[in-house]
Amino acid sequence: MQQKKYKFDIFSIFSTLWAHYELIKQFTKREIASRYKGSLLGIVWSLITPIIMLFIYTFVFSEIFKSRWTVDNDNKLQFALIVYCGLIIFNIFAEVTTRAPSLILNNPNYVKKVIFPLEILPVVSMLSALFQGSISYIILIIGILINQGTISISLILLPILIIPFLLFLVGITWILAAFGVYFRDIGQIIGLAIQGIMLLTPIFYPISVVPDKYLMIYHLNPLVYIVEDTRKVLIWGQFPSWYSLSLSFLIGFVFFVIGYNFFKRTKGGFSDVI
């Protein structure tokens, strides 16, 4: 029987995901619950972990490294909050992309089911990571309130910054999940790439210290825009760069569309490989 040829349709992306909204919600809840299944404190760990990590960052950077973000600012807690803000974004990215190559391989039963929408698995993976990231953001906001005594109204712009980041994440996960089925070594490559991306993202240092001749490399890193704009909104109480925000939406949407269509074109052969 001849396989039906997939046609590019941008509107089918949103209609497909909306049609499986309930399934995505159920799978996401199950994914979150499975993280802490069998542990004594259960889902409470999702709250304890970011609090402990924030205390560790504060101690290490304030007492061990004596670090300051700028020369004229020796606020140790603020430095830890600035670093923590960047790490939240990176940790969401690292978790999703690390799991992506094995996402389909770890669910062979769903591949054999013709009617199961495999394209929702990367979305579920992203939402699961976002759950932990959201709790980390709450801890970050509480830390900012303790440090500064107030929260800027610019906080309400945070969801707008996150949307293009999530579009990018889902898009890149669709691509990596499909590649992971056919090229098993890609998981090792991704592990190395993530380490490099962490160092090439201004998490532990301000982008202002990067020499001009290397700035082009940083501008090719999509994480730079979301990290910098998130700090502006949460830490500094400033509005984001509308140029970088527009660019983030463009990058996120392009990856989202390309990733979905690449996944749809390649998933027909998954059952033959797995």
What pLDDT does 25 receive? 94
Mean pLDDT, residues 205-216 taken together:
88
Nearest to 81 by CA among 63, 54, 60: 54
Which long-range contacts (C-beta less than 8 Å, at least 24 apart) are formed by 188-193?
190/97, 190/98, 190/100, 190/101, 191/98
- Does the predicted model carry a pTM greater than 0.85? yes
At 148-168, the pLDDT tens digits run 888 889 999 999 999 999 999
Query: How many residues are present in the chain?
Result: 274
Q: Cα(185)–Cα(150) distance, rounded to whole angstroms?
A: 48
The alpha carbon dihedral of 35, 36, 39, 44 has a sign of positive
By the 8 A CB rule, do 100 and 172 touch? yes
Q: Cα(183)–Cα(199) distance, rounded to whole angstroms?
A: 26
What pLDDT does 145 receive? 93
Instruction: Work out the mean pLDDT of the chain and round it to a whole number.
Output: 86
Under 8 Å CB-to-CB from 202, ≥6 apart: which residues?
86, 210, 218, 224, 227, 228
On the 0-12 / 13-18 / 19+ scale of CB atoms within 10 A, 217 is exposed
What pLDDT does 41 receive? 63
